[in-house]
Each structure stands twice: as C-alpha cells, then as structure tokens.
C-alpha cells in the first residue's frame, strides 16, 4: 500500500525548497527508505517575485502558483505544502483552487510558539518586506495576544532583505553573517523570540541560533513537522 502523498509547491526559491525537503526527511520517523513520505515536488523558479507583486504592483504570481496547485491536485496528492511564507498572502485563493488540504505555514509556526513558549508575546520576524506588509504573521498571531516586530523601517538598509537576497544569489556565508546580525538587532529591540519567517532564511540559519539567547522558530521546520504529523498522525 502506497503511503500518503505530499505535494510541495516549490521553487520560491529553489534553495528554500531543497532545505524544506531535507527538514521533511529529518522529521520523519524512519529506519529505511521505505518509511519516508512519498513526495511530489512542483518547483517553478520562474514564478514572479511575491514581494514585488505585493509592494510594487509587480507581475501577479498567482497564475503560476495555480498551475502548480493543479499539477499537484491531478497527481493525487493527499496534502499540499508551500515552503514560501510570502506566497501565503494568496493562501485563500490557492486553498480554494483544490480539494486537497493545504497546510498554512504560519499556523504551523503559531502552534509551535504556543506549545513551547506561551509566555513569549513579542516576536522578532525575519521575513521579506512583502510578508511583513501583507500582515501574514500578524493576522495569525494577534488573536493570541502576540505582536510582531521587524526591521522594515530601515528600508534599503534592512539587513533581513539583504540576507535574503544574498541567499538567492548563492552567497550563503555572507547571508548567514548578515542575518545573524539582524537577529541580534531584533533581540535588542525587545524580541522575546525570533521567527525565521522566510524559507530562504531557514535555509542558512540553524536552531538553536548562534549569538542570541531567546527561543527561535523556523517556519520551514514547523511546516515539515506539521506535514509529517498530518500524514503520519
């Protein structure tokens, strides 16, 4: 009997998709290849930039994402994961385009925070400017009395965006240094916990985080755990 089939709407970006798959394997209880989840990945790195669409009226990425959702639906997937935080600005549209359940990445993070540090009320968000502007995390976290702080007011000097761009360009060591400094700045501003709210950040920073003493949650890691729990229950 074939195991439940996970569909991954990926390519946003490619390194983030590869990192999510590695985390999925790491969190799957397995003694042999056959114990792992069957997975189909639809990876289209030509999907228009999600932040550009939100912030500057750039090309709409939704048609490209709809094609991926349709592919995964037709492939017979039992669950769909989208390892891109900013893409969740269009979550309702994407979830409505299929009868297959789609895991919400921020719900997965929120569940971890509530379980592991319910007292943490101010979270430092390391995410794209598009994710921040769209309020993707605020909408989910605010009902539990949590607020989110970020570094977007720094504009072109925002180290989180600089680090994300470095990841996309393949400059991983430089990205790691930039993003670690961004974490320290968020803690200095009062963050009681840090969320890696961009899967490109997840691809280069570890948990526990180097240089900070507050708890850290990784959205890609949370999504992987949520998928394993849903399909292995």
Q: Which residues are catalytic?
A: 84, 198
3-state secondary structure the chain: CCCCEEEEEECCCHHHHHHHHHHHHHHCCCCCHHHCCEEEEEECCCCCCHHHHHHHCCCCCHHHHHHHHHHHHHCCCCEEECCCCHHHHHHHHHHHCCCCCECCHHHHHHHHHHHHCCCCCEEEEECCHHHHHHCHHHHHHHHHCCEEECCHHHHHHCHHHHHHHHHHCCCHHHHHHHHHHHHHHHHHCCCCEEEECCHHHHCCCCCCCCCCCCCEEEHHHHHHHHHHHHHHC
């Amino acid at each position: 009997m074939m195991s439940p089939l996970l569909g991954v709407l990926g390519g946003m970006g490619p390194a983030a998709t590869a990192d999510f798959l590695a985390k999925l394997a790491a969190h799957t209880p397995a003694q042999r290849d056959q114990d792992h989840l069957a997975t189909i990945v639809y990876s289209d790195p030509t999907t228009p930039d999600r932040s550009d669409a939100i912030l500057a009226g750039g090309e709409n990425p939704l048609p490209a994402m709809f094609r991926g959702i349709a592919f995964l639906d037709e492939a017979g997937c039992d669950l769909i994961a989208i390892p891109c935080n900013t893409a969740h600005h269009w979550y309702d549209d994407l979830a409505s385009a299929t009868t297959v359940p789609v895991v919400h990445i921020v719900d997965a993070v929120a569940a971890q925070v509530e379980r592991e540090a319910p007292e943490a009320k101010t979270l430092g968000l390391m995410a794209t400017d598009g994710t921040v502007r769209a309020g993707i995390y605020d909408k989910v976290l605010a009902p539990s009395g949590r607020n989110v702080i970020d570094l977007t007011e720094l504009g072109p000097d925002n180290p989180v965006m600089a680090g994300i761009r470095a990841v996309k360009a393949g400059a991983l060591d430089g990205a790691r240094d930039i993003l670690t400094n961004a974490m320290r700045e968020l803690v200095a501003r009062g963050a009681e916990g840090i969320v890696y709210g961009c899967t490109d950040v997840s691809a280069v920073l570890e948990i526990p985080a180097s240089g900070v003493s507050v708890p850290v949650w990784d959205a890609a890691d949370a999504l992987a755990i949520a998928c394993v729990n849903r399909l292995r229950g």
